[in-house]
Amino acid sequence: MDTLTHAIFGAVVGQAGFRRSLGRRAMAYGAAAAVMPDLDVVAGLVAGPYAAWLWHRGPTHSVFFAAIGGALLGWLVWRLHAGGEGAKAARRPLLAWVGLFWVVLFTHPVLDLFTHYGTQLLAPLSRHRFAIPAMPVIDPVYTLALLAAMVVGLFARRSVVVARGAGAAGLFFVIAYTLFAWSLNERAADVAHRQLRSEGVAGAAVEAYPVLFQPYYRRIVVEMPDTFLIGFHSALVDRPIAWNRVERDHGALATRVAGTWEGEMLSWFAAGKVLWRTRSASPGALVEGYDVRYGLPGETLLAFWGIRAEFDAEQRPLGPPAIFGTDRAPTRERLGALFAEIFGQ
């Protein structure tokens, strides 16, 4: 999820679970703790162009970071307040502070787990990217529900019961909403399977992925040995999926690029869902690999990002493969087209 939503979620966890024992400050510390794992984005600024893929949702999003970091941060904050406010603050339970940081630091990667970006829950012992494609990274309904609960908590200064109740209601809603979104994803994949069988296509790998801002509209990617089929399904519209057939490139140049460190990094990051294509380009050829999990109808159909490598006329590389991104700014026209697709207009 986006960092703002994580911060609000952390505040609501503090409000619902620790307001009675730690007071309103539990909300502030919960929000602060919730954004700490996302500080790994700094690696992308200092460790090269592939660092964001390699390090974001890496070690700081693991269960080990949550376990160790939660205990350490809880103890430090307890000591801070115990030393600064005297005996009354010292009586605040250490376990409450540790519990707050534990819960928030554990729930951060759990929230990210339910997006298809991938989260390295067992880093640094394993680089496996766990992912459940239920939610888009940004969903206004999800965020606004948490925000409403947090606002109640902020204004309910004297009523701990009201604050905790609102926090619990907000958390219950987003959990139910996430499970609902997950069910929509499974339903979209099932619709695609049934349509493919009716079209005489058997044995293909089918994956459904959420797209921007809402849970109802899903990107469907069908992988076959020589072809990808890419389509879209709206849970709000009863119509067949229109497939876009894209041939996979198994040629020598594409195979060379796929075997480079950069190509293997893309394949790892994209959970193997990579489309390779080779096309002529001055002075020789251009090989591109697309992360097909992401994209919308139109100009970003194949992907939002990938890598490309240039070759001269003698098929010599003109440099290492480089990351590229497509223009995916949420303009009024693009958002209008997206919501027209969602509602079948």
Instruction: State pLDDT tens for residues 312-323.
Output: 999 999 999 999
Which of 72-81, 103-112, 140-149 bottoms out in mean pLDDT, i.e. has the lowest? 72-81
Going by the DSSP 8-state scheme, the letter that residue 277 receives in this structure is E
Q: What is the pLDDT of residues 276-301, one digit of tens each?
A: 999 988 888 999 999 999 999 988 99
Tokens 């979104």 sit on residue:
181
Which of 3-7, 77-81, 132-136, 197-201 bottoms out in mean pLDDT, i.e. has the lowest? 77-81
Residue type, 330: P
Going by the DSSP 8-state scheme, the letter that residue 315 receives in this structure is S
> What pLDDT, on a 0 to 100 scale, did the predictor assign at position 146?
97
At residue 271, does pLDDT exceed 80? yes
> What pLDDT, on a 0 to 100 scale, did the predictor assign at position 92?
62
Share of the chain above pLDDT 70, in %: 97
Residue of 41 and 188 predicted with greater confidence: 188
Of 312, 297, 251, 313, nearest to 277 (Cα)?
Answer: 251
pLDDT band at residue 100 under the 50/70/90 scheme: very high
Spell out a b/e string for 216-252, using b for 16 or more CB atoms within 10 Å of the CB, else e.
bbbbbbbbeeeebbbbbbbbeeeeebebeebebbeee
Average pLDDT, the chain: 92
Q: What are phi and psi of 10, to 5 degrees?
A: -60, -40
**DSSP sequence for 16-47:** HHHHHHH-THHHHHHHHHHHGGGGGGGHHHHS
